[in-house]
């Protein structure tokens, strides 16, 4: 970002005059109608747990013909995300929801309506007694499968090998999904500057291996 006073004030003006990017669940009854939400019929991708928004903002900027929905549960990260989305020039094709992803998927996302779901570095809950708090399990994967259009993709990444194993088990047990890619990325193979998310960048700098998998909805 350019911090010269003129550029900064034009960023602020853009943010102040932009329409609201937040979908407030209290104001929405039943399933979301994406063409009404975005004002166009373009395909929709969802990012769950966007954190500061690096992935969703970059994706929306690079793909103006797509729509993007971010779901973020933490109040602190949601505030940062909202500010960044408001200041970016991509607002037209991004909406964000503050909420718990499993609940939002079940209550507000119509079946067969999402081209891709991205989940990067979900909270790992490293202690074994906390594993039940992990987001990705077979029930959650089934909610993602329902939301995807046929051929739609579920893309996941983590730096925790045991969580990755759980992700593979949950997605592998879902008969409506097939694996189309799986990667173990050693830190020296990827430049931190090319990371897709803030956490990926942080973990590459720390020298951690990153595990990635992509599934496609077949039914």
Binding site for ligand SAM (CB under 6 A): 48-51, 71-74, 77, 100-101, 120-123, 135, 197-200
Answer for the pair 71, 47: CB distance below 8 angstroms, yes or no.
yes
Q: What is the dihedral of CA 67, 72, 107, 144, to 10 degrees?
A: 70
**Position closest to ligand SAM via CB:** 49
Q: Closest CB to ligand SAM among 22 and 123? A: 123
- 123 catalytic? Reply is yes
Q: Among the options 33, 123, 159, 162, which is catalytic? A: 123
DSSP 3-state of 197: coil
Angle, helices 75-87 vs 5-17, to 10°: value is: 110
Question: In the complex, what is the shortest distance from the CB of residue 21 to ligand SAM, in angstroms, rounded to a whole number?
Answer: 17
Question: In the complex, what is the shortest distance from the CB of residue 55 to ligand SAM, in angstroms, rounded to a whole number?
Answer: 7
Reading the block at residue 107, the tokens are: 């209550």
Q: Closest CB to ligand SAM among 151 and 207? A: 207
Question: In the complex, what is the shortest distance from the CB of residue 16 to ligand SAM, in angstroms, rounded to a whole number?
Answer: 26
Nearest to 34 by CA among 149, 143, 182, 157: 149
Catalytic residues: 123
């Amino acid at each position: 970002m350019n911090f010269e006073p003129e550029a900064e004030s034009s960023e602020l003006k853009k943010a102040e005059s932009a329409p609201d990017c937040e979908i407030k669940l209290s104001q929405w009854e039943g399933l979301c109608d994406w063409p009404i939400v975005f004002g166009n019929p373009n395909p929709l991708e969802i990012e769950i747990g966007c954190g500061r928004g690096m992935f969703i903002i970059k994706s929306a900027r690079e793909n103006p013909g797509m729509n993007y929905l971010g779901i973020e549960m933490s109040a602190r990260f949601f505030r940062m995300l909202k500010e960044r989305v408001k200041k970016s020039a991509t607002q037209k094709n991004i909406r964000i929801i503050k909420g718990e992803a499993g609940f939002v998927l079940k209550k507000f996302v119509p079946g067969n309506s999402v081209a891709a779901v991205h989940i990067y570095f979900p909270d790992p809950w490293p202690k074994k007694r906390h594993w039940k708090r992990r987001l990705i399990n077979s029930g959650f994967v089934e909610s993602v499968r329902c939301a995807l259009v046929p051929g739609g993709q579920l893309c996941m990444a983590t730096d925790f090998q045991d969580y990755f194993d759980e992700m593979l088990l949950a997605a592998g047990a879902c008969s409506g999904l097939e694996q189309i890619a799986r990667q173990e990325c050693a830190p020296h193979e990827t430049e931190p500057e090319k990371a897709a998310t803030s956490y990926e960048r942080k973990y590459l700098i720390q020298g951690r291996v990153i595990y990635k998998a992509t599934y496609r909805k077949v039914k």
